[in-house]
Structure 1
Amino acid sequence: MADLTLASADVGATPKMPMSAEPARTILALDLGTTTGWAIRGFDGLITSGTVSFKPGRYDGCGMRYLRFTNWLTEIDRLSGPIEAIYFEEVRRHAGTDAAHVFGGLLAVLTSWGELRGVPYQGVPVGTIKRHATGHGNANKQAMIDAARKRGFSPADDNEADAIAILLWAIETQGGLA
Structure 2
Amino acid sequence: MNTPIPAQDVRPEPGAINRSCILALDLGTSTGWALRSHDGLITSGTVSFRPGRFDGGGMRYLRFTNWLTELDRLSGPIAAIWFEEVRRHAGTDAAHVYGGLMATLTSWAELRGIPYEGVPVGTIKRHATGRGNAPKEAMVAAARARGFSPADDNEADAIAILDWAIETNGGVE
Aligned mates of 1:79, 1:176 — CA distance in 2: 27
1:80 partnered with 2:80:
no
Which among 40, 61, 77 is matched to residue 56 of structure 2? 61
CA distances 1:24-64 after superposition (whole Å, capped 9, x unpaired): 42100000000000000000000000000000000000000
Secondary structure at 2:148 match in 1? coil
Q: How many Å apart are 1:77 and its aligned residue?
A: 0.2
Q: Which residue of 2 aligns with 1:10?
A: none
Aligned mates of 1:175, 1:92 — CA distance in 2: 20
CA distances 1:121-147 after superposition (whole Å, capped 9, x unpaired): 000000000000000000000000000
1:138 partnered with 2:129:
no
Which among 167, 171, 178 is matched to residue 166 of structure 2? 171
Identical positions, percent = 81
Aligned mates of 1:64, 1:80 — CA distance in 2: 24
Which among 110, 133, 138 is matched to residue 115 of structure 1? 110
Alignment map for 1:16-95 (pairs within 5 Å):
24-95=19-90
More off after superposition, 23-32 vs 138-147:
23-32
Please tell me the residue identity of whatever aligns with 2:157.
D
For the 8 Å contact 1:28–1:86, the answer to whether it is kept is yes
Number of paired residues?
156
Q: Which residue of 2 aligns with 1:13?
A: none
Q: Which runs of 5+ in 1 are unaligned?
A: 1-22
Secondary structure at 2:64 match in 1? helix
Q: Which runs of 5+ in 2 are unaligned?
A: 1-17
User: TM-score of the superposition, structure 1-length normalised?
Assistant: 0.87
Aligned mates of 1:43, 1:139 — CA distance in 2: 31
Report runs of 4+ in structure 1 exceeding 3 Å deviation.
none
User: TM-score of the superposition, structure 2-length normalised?
Assistant: 0.89
Secondary structure at 2:118 match in 1? strand
Over the aligned positions, Cα root-mean-square deviation in angstroms equals 0.7
Which among 156, 162, 165 is matched to residue 161 of structure 1? 156
Aligned mates of 1:69, 1:154 — CA distance in 2: 24
Secondary structure at 2:133 match in 1? coil
